[in-house]
Structure formats: structure tokens, C-alpha cells
Amino acid sequence: MMTTLEPIIALLLGAGITAGAGWLSRFIAARNLVRYGPILSRVYDILDPLLERNLRSWSGSDVEFATDLAIESVADGYLTNAELKELTLEITKRWLPQVAADKVRKFEAMAEKPKALAAADLLADVVSGQARKQQTISKVKALLK
């Protein structure tokens, strides 16, 4: 009798463990997004125009580097390298091109251009190799204060 139930029990346990692992992963990601919420808002203000203007000409590693630069520019040194990498991956997964395009159009229509547009232009120069990383991050931090 038990031999016929064992595969069913194993299947149910496997499904339960898989569902639990998926839930835990989503919970950890959501917790981190809440924890870094203020940083994320500022990152997207820079990242949206930065990627919207340059995505067609950049490779995947350029996009990741641009995301790292945007995070470093607003994080004020509070993040470890592991946290930076985790945020970079989460932000690039959640970036929405249509939302970015809409935000950039609104930014460009404003009478006074947001500082995020100037910051995006500065960081684009770093990704394309026309400016130095640390000097540009310092300029962006000063610009955003």
C-alpha cells in the first residue's frame, strides 16, 4: 500500500519545495527593493534617459556598466560590491523601455531640464570611453546635490 503512495508523496513534496523556493526568492527581492527604494527612484531618473537614448548602440555589458554607474552616482558609497551587483541585476530585469521613453519625453518637455538628463549625458560619456569613471561619478554626485 505504501509503495503506491510514495511517488505521489514525493511529487507533492517536490512541488511544495519548488513553490516555497519561488516564494522565498520573490520575498527577498521585494524586501531588497523596499530597502533600496529611495536609491532606486533616483537611479531610474538617470537610467531611463541614459538607456533610452543609447540602448540601440550598446551591448548588454554596456547596459550593465551604465546601470552600475547610475547606482554608484546616487548611492553615496553605502552599498557593498555584492549589493551593487544585486541591485544592478534587479534594476536591469525591471527596466521598462516604454516607461523610460515616456519619462524622457516628459523631462524634455519641462521648461527647466531635470538634472537627471545632464547626469545621464555625463554617464553616457563614461560608457562610451570618452570620460573617466570616478571623475564623472563625482561630477554627477555634485550635480544631483
pLDDT of residue 89: 86
pLDDT of residue 8: 64
Helix, strand, coil percentages, rounded to 5, for the chain = 85, 0, 15
pLDDT of residue 36: 74
CA neighbor of 49 nearest in space, from 131, 133, 110, 132: 110
Cβ contact 107:49 at 8 Å: yes
pLDDT tens sequence for the chain (145 residues): 556 666 666 666 665 666 555 554 555 555 656 677 778 889 999 999 999 999 999 998 999 999 999 999 998 777 888 888 888 888 888 899 999 999 999 999 999 999 999 999 999 999 999 999 999 999 999 999 8
pLDDT of residue 115: 95
Q: How would you label 32-56 residue by residue, b for 16+ Cβ within 10 Å and e otherwise?
A: eeeebeebbebbbbbbbbbbbbbee
pLDDT of residue 44: 92
pLDDT of residue 11: 62
- Alpha-carbon distance of 106 to 137, in angstroms, equals 25
| Prediction pTM value | 0.74
Q: What residue has cell string 533600496? A: 36
